[in-house]
Structures are given as structure tokens and as C-alpha cells.
Amino acid sequence: MDGAEGVKETLVRAIEALDGRIAGMLVPEGGFELVYARTDARDAMGIVAPARTIRTRADIEEAKRSITEGAGGEAARTVLTAIRFDRSIRSAATLRCSEEALSALDALFFEVCSYDRGAIPPGIQSMDWGIASCCRQGVPDAIVDRGGGDGGHLIRLLGENPMAVVQQIVKIGTWLERT
């Protein structure tokens, strides 16, 4: 098992690699999340993430200093659900969903799954159900949540580690810049 310190160091390196390389149109209104789970993660305390979301390049340094266990919001819940289906998937990020970003995922041959909040059984947490429904046949590269009427449109990228997720983010941003 890798300890929290090794996981934190890996996450710091991934955030550093992202510095200046994330396309602004990919950052959700509430900020960008990037999380990494320890190999033994079973709940939020097994997830390492910055205490705050990243909105601008200026937030990068604060994000690196504020990495802690038990943080991560929606990205943490995403990776905890994905781990139930594939223990090698230990990192996730949240990105703003737009038609341009969806076109990039398609053009770059990402395996993408989306879910319909209208199909969620009563009494079930919608996001957890949606992520699980997308992972049943294997964990995709990206899960699209087009949101309900609340405008919560997000793309959740998944990968084995945060550097793999950062590489996906950079690929998407590069494609967006070229179109």
C-alpha cells in the first residue's frame, strides 16, 4: 500500500504539470478538482486532494500547499465509486461540459459514458448511481453528467493516477486550441 505522503507527492507533481496547461473553458464555474486515492481507499479519508478547487493559475500554488486527506468533493465520490469496479482507477478530475469539450472527447477517441438523471431510482444518490451505471461494463475514460435543470454539466475524467488524468486534460485542451 502506498501511504498518504507518497500519494500527496504524486498529486503535487501532477498539479505542477498542469500549471498553465489547462484550457480555461474546461474549468467549471465552481473550480476544477483533481484527486488521487490511496490503494486501500474505502471512503473519503482514503482520498487525497487540494482543500479548495482550482479556478485560476494563481490557485495552483495554494492547491499544492493545501493537499489533505478527506477532500475532493464530487471527484472524490467519482473515484470511490469507480474503484468498486476497477481497483486500478484511482484518480479523477472534474471539467466543465460543453459541446466543444464533448467534440474533443469524440475526436480523441476517449471512451465516454453518460447517464440520464431521469432514470435514477427514487431514494438513490444521483451522482453515485450515474457513475456506477457507467462503470458496470468497465470504467470509461470520461463520464458525462449533463445535469438536471441545475446547470451542473460536468465531465469526470478517470485514470490510474493523476498524471494520466492531467495528460488527458492537456490532450483535450490542445485539441480545443487547434479547432
Task: Identify the structural domains of the chain with CATH numbers, from first to last.
Answer: 4-178 (3.40.225.10)
Other beta carbons within 10 Å of 95: 28
Looking at every residue in the chain, the average pLDDT score rounds to 90
Q: 102-150, pLDDT tens digit by residue?
A: 999 999 999 999 987 777 788 787 788 899 999 999 999 999 987 655 5
Residue 2 confidence (pLDDT): 65
Instruction: State the Cα–Cα distance between residues 31 and 22, nearest whole angstrom.
Output: 12
Instruction: State the Cα–Cα distance between residues 20 and 79, nearest whole angstrom.
Output: 25
Buried b (16+ CB within 10 A) or exposed e, 26-65: bbbeebbbbbbbbeebeebebbbbbeebbeeeebbeebbe
Q: 60-94, pLDDT tens digit by residue?
A: 888 999 999 998 889 999 999 999 999 999 999 99
Instruction: List % helix, strand, coil for the chain (3-state, nearest 5).
Output: 45, 20, 35
